[in-house]
Amino acid sequence: MTPSTIEIVPTPDDRRIARLATAAIVLTVAEAAIPLPLPGVKPGLANIVTLIVLARWGWRDAVWVALLRVFAGSLLLGQLFAPGFFLSLAGSLASLATLGLAMHLPRRWFGPVSLSVLAAFAHIGGQLVLARLWLVPHDGVFYLVPVFALAATVFGLVNGLVAARLMSGPASDKA
Amino acid sequence: MKARLAEWIVLLRPGDWLVLAGALLVCVLSALTLWRGGAPDKAVVRAGGKVFAEVGLARTQVVEVPGPLGVTRIEIEPGRARVASDPGPRQYCVRQGWLTRSGAVAICAPNQVSLSLAGGAADYDSLNY
């Protein structure tokens, strides 16, 4: 066997992103075990990780972690390239774009909860746009908007609070 | 219990309350606008296949429609309408009672009179459904 001439050396940055993405993937897989009344309504626990990464290491790392989570999480759940995967991807892209803008809000006034709620709304927005254009080409999908909006508010609040709580604790164990 | 709740509430900053209030407002407004479907805004009365009258459902009034058997009386109230009396033998349209949803139809076939509600987002009409 000829030894490979290409050697990829992971940088410490790569390792950190991989470690954080793993945490997000674990939450995704764990969450898939929770029975839910309506497709599309999920707590989105992995977004706690995204919020913390955004606050500690910035938007670029948050994008990496969130997208790795979408791909690897759906691969593990056997959902890769299924409709649910594309909905999840559309939602993630929309909420990452929103986070990119919302992170510039003054920190003194807007904490992780604001970011979480805004990202959750962007997530359902991205999903609904894709669903309307592609999966259910009928305005009937918008009938569920109030349900999704309420879910986004509640889970956005809960995830934001958990992220804020984790970040308010001692930071040393996360370095 | 109260102390534990307070521990979480201190994590909320002023702007967070604002965002949460906005989020709840979006929930309520979207429910009000998207789930209003089926609220009719007018009643269409037909006699002998032709439109006899189109009446708004804003105020109370009575429409009297002449047909081959006699006069059919239609009552309009805010948001609803019914056939109050009809000379037909079986009284199906009268016994249907108040119509409240857009697309609902009451037909008095013997007297060739029909009453239907229109406007709003009609999901279906009571004939096709």
Taking only the tens place, the pLDDT of each residue in A109-149 is: 999 999 999 999 999 999 999 999 998 888 888 888 999 99
A150 inside 8 A of chain B by CB: yes
Helix (H/G/I), strand (E/B), else coil: A128: helix
Chain B positions with Cβ closer than 8 Å to A: 8, 11-16, 18-20, 23-24, 26-27, 30-31, 34-35, 37
**Residue B107, CA distances (Å) to B46, B50, B92 in order:** 9, 13, 8
Lowest mean pLDDT segment, chosen from A33-42, A74-83, B18-27, B109-118: A33-42
Q: Are A73 and A85 in contact (CB under 8 A)?
A: no
**Category of B120 on φ-ψ map: left (φ > 0), alpha (ψ -120 to 50) or beta:** left
Domains of chain A with CATH codes:
12-170 (1.10.1760.20)
Torsion of CA A45, A46, A52, A58, to 10 degrees: -140
* Least CB–CB distance from A117: residue in B11, B13, B19: B19
Strand partners, B121: none
Using a CB–CB cutoff of 8 Å, tell me whether A170 touches chain B: no
> Who's near A15: CB < 8 A, 6+ residues apart?
none
What is the reported pLDDT for B101? 83
Q: Note the ipTM here.
A: 0.86
Burial A127-140 (b: 16+ CB within 10 A, else e): bbebbeeeeeeeee
Q: What is the pLDDT of residue B125?
A: 63
Quick check: B23 and A152 CB within 8 A?
yes
Q: Is the pLDDT of residue B129 over 70?
A: no
What's the gap in Å between the CA of B67 and the closest CA on chain A? 40
Q: How far apart are CA A78 and CA B121, in angstroms?
A: 39
- And the tokens for B41? 């805004």
Average pLDDT over residues A65-90: 93
Flag whether residue A114 sits within 8 Å of chain B, measured between CB atoms.
yes
Distance linking the first and last C-alpha atoms of chain A? 40
Nearest to A149 among B13, B15, B30 (CB): B30
Lowest mean pLDDT among A6-10, A169-173, B107-111: A169-173
At A174, the pLDDT band (50, 70, 90 cuts) reads very low
- Higher-confidence residue of B36 and B21: namely B21
pLDDT average, residue stretch A84-98: 94
Given this model, what pLDDT does residue A173 score? 46
The per-residue pLDDT for B120 is: 65
Q: Which residue of B has its CA nearest to A122?
A: B23
Residue where the block lists tokens 């969130």: A66
**Residue contact B11–A113, C-beta within 8 A:** yes
Instruction: Determine which of A98, A107, A109 to mutate to test the interface with B (most B C-beta atoms within 10 Å).
Output: A109
Contacts A–B by Cβ distance under 8 A: 66
What pLDDT score does A59 carry?
A: 94
Q: For residues A164 and A116, is the Cβ–Cβ distance under 8 A?
A: no
Smallest Cβ–Cβ distance between A110 and the set B8, B11, B16 belongs to: B16
Does residue B22 carry a pLDDT above 50? Answer: yes
